[in-house]
Amino acid sequence: MNGKRFTEQLLDWYDRNGRDLPWRRDPAPYPVWISEIMAQQTQMERVVEYHARWMARFPTLTDLAGAGEEEVLKLWEGLGYYSRARNIRRAARIIEGEYGGEFPSDVRRIRELPGVGDYTAGAIASIAFGRPVPAVDANVLRVFARLDDVPGPVNKSAVKRSIEERVVSLLPEDRPGDFNQAVMELGALVCSKRPQCSGCPVDSHCLALAQGTVAQRPQLASKAKPIHIDMATGILVHGGKVLVQKRRPDDVWPGLWEFPGGCIERGETPEQALHREFLEEVELAVHPTEKVTVVRYSYTRYRVTMHCFLCRAEGAVSPVFHAATEGRFVPWDGLADFAFPAGHRRLIEFMQRDVRFASFLD
Ligand code: SF4
């Protein structure tokens, strides 16, 4: 590959075809950082929408550092992987406290911030500060696995390191951030999972295309198998309000709110599991009165099937919270003020659409 020619052709293509994203117009470190964290595991249209809302609410890093966790989680609701939002808030407070509110420009300092990995640190340092450092994400790995016809699995650290070194060798001094973004953009728009080689601006440099191995690149080491979980969740209605509880700091989705419930154990029906879980979690004896729906969702390796019920309680309704930091009865329309994990938020949205619950929700 002629590196200089490759870089020129790639940047020329990027200048004409790169997407006009808000944080690219003025690549200041704070909006670039937020966009990079949001873009992990999230489609770009969604990132643009959430980024605009975020910047309207927290226009500066100081605004973010002064915000409460609950408000930050609420704004993040729907993006998933909530540790990203908590880490953003923690990092903002560190930048305020230790760097006087000035985003650090050194890639090693950026890398030390909570929630910032090698890729994100490289992206911020190169895009916002013009530092000649690589930013290698899954897109970049895929592109270079094809350009250089790399036979090894790109999710192994030795192969990833060699691709990082390759990127460093190509970074132009004057536009390292644009180069990194151009490779990512090529991976997103052209050299995607199903590559459009006929429209590729750098096809003449591509070894996999020349050798007919595009379909075999990139190689991936096999991943762990998904784990399936069945759960039961109950919407307990009392006095026109529903019971919600806040998850503990050491739990999955810490700080988010949920309806009580839990895993269905071997030999249990969903209804039996719900009864047991309410006794264990809130010391209430409840009975399902109606099956609402089944919600299916995924997080990390887990594939969850959540059986959802309306339920009523026997006797006095005074919950004691054993699996949560706090809990309360909330009017249905007040749920909009709380941040829920994706599965519970989908349950709420389902009930809002289903005519069976129209009178219940009034
Ligand atoms: Fe990717 Fe095809 Fe371009 Fe090679 S020619 S870099 S495989 S899009």
Confirm whether 101 is domain-assigned: yes
- If asked whether residues 208 and 282 sit together in one domain, one would say no
Average pLDDT rounded to a whole number, residues 117-122: 96
- If asked whether residues 246 and 265 sit together in one domain, one would say yes
Looking from the CA of residue 217, the nearest atom of ligand 1 is 7
- If asked whether residues 179 and 247 sit together in one domain, one would say no
Q: Is the CB of 197 under 6 A from ligand 1?
A: yes
Q: Select from 216, 245, 276 the last residue of a domain.
A: 216
Confirm whether 222 is domain-assigned: no
Per 3-state DSSP, the chain is made up of helix, strand and coil in percentages (nearest 5) of 50, 15, 35
Confirm whether 86 is domain-assigned: yes
Q: Check whether 358 has a pLDDT greater than 80.
A: no
Site to probe by mutation for ligand 1, drawn from 144, 186, 209 as the one with most ligand atoms within 8 Å of Cβ, is 209
What's the Cα-to-Cα distance from 200 to each of 155, 189, 268, rounded to whole Å? 24, 10, 55
pTM for the structure as a whole: 0.77
Q: Which residues pair with 327 in a beta bridge?
A: 245
Q: What is the pLDDT of residues 248-269, one digit of tens each?
A: 988 888 899 999 999 999 999 9
Q: Is the CB of 146 under 6 A from ligand 1?
A: yes
| CA 202 to ligand 1 centroid distance, Å | 7
Quick one: pLDDT at residue 113? 97
pLDDT tier for residue 299 given thresholds of 50, 70 and 90: confident
Residue having the nearest C-alpha atom to atom 1 of ligand 1: 191
What's the Cα-to-Cα distance from 22 to each of 27, 41, 53, 116, 301, rounded to whole Å? 9, 19, 12, 21, 33
CA–CA dist 78, 340 (Å, integer):
9
Q: Check whether 361 has a pLDDT greater than 70.
A: no
Looking from the CA of residue 201, the nearest atom of ligand 1 is 3
Say which residue the tokens 């509110």 belong to. Answer: 101
CATH of the domain at 172: 1.10.340.30
- If asked whether residues 54 and 161 sit together in one domain, one would say yes
| CA 137 to ligand 1 centroid distance, Å | 17
Total number of domains in the chain: 2
| CA 241 to ligand 1 centroid distance, Å | 57
CATH of the domain at 268: 3.90.79.10
Cβ 323 vs Cβ 281: under 8 Å: yes
Site to probe by mutation for ligand 1, drawn from 200, 204, 205, 216 as the one with most ligand atoms within 8 Å of Cβ, is 200
pLDDT tier for residue 209 given thresholds of 50, 70 and 90: very high
pLDDT tier for residue 120 given thresholds of 50, 70 and 90: very high
Cβ 311 vs Cβ 270: under 8 Å: no
pLDDT tier for residue 8 given thresholds of 50, 70 and 90: very high
- If asked whether residues 171 and 30 sit together in one domain, one would say yes
CA–CA dist 41, 44 (Å, integer):
10
Q: Check whether 155 has a pLDDT greater than 90.
A: no
Quick one: pLDDT at residue 360? 65
- If asked whether residues 183 and 235 sit together in one domain, one would say no
CA–CA dist 354, 42 (Å, integer):
28
Given the residues 36, 77, 164, 258, select the one marked as catalytic.
36
Q: Is the CB of 189 under 6 A from ligand 1?
A: no
pLDDT tier for residue 273 given thresholds of 50, 70 and 90: very high
Q: Is 36 a catalytic residue?
A: yes
CA–CA dist 220, 155 (Å, integer):
6
Q: Is the CB of 91 under 6 A from ligand 1?
A: no
Q: Which domain holds residue 207?
A: 3-216
Q: Check whether 357 has a pLDDT greater than 90.
A: no
- If asked whether residues 265 and 182 sit together in one domain, one would say no
pLDDT tier for residue 239 given thresholds of 50, 70 and 90: confident
- If asked whether residues 236 and 291 sit together in one domain, one would say yes
Looking from the CA of residue 197, the nearest atom of ligand 1 is 2
Q: What is the pLDDT of residues 165-193, one digit of tens each?
A: 999 999 999 999 999 999 999 999 999 99
CA–CA dist 292, 352 (Å, integer):
11
pLDDT tier for residue 110 given thresholds of 50, 70 and 90: very high
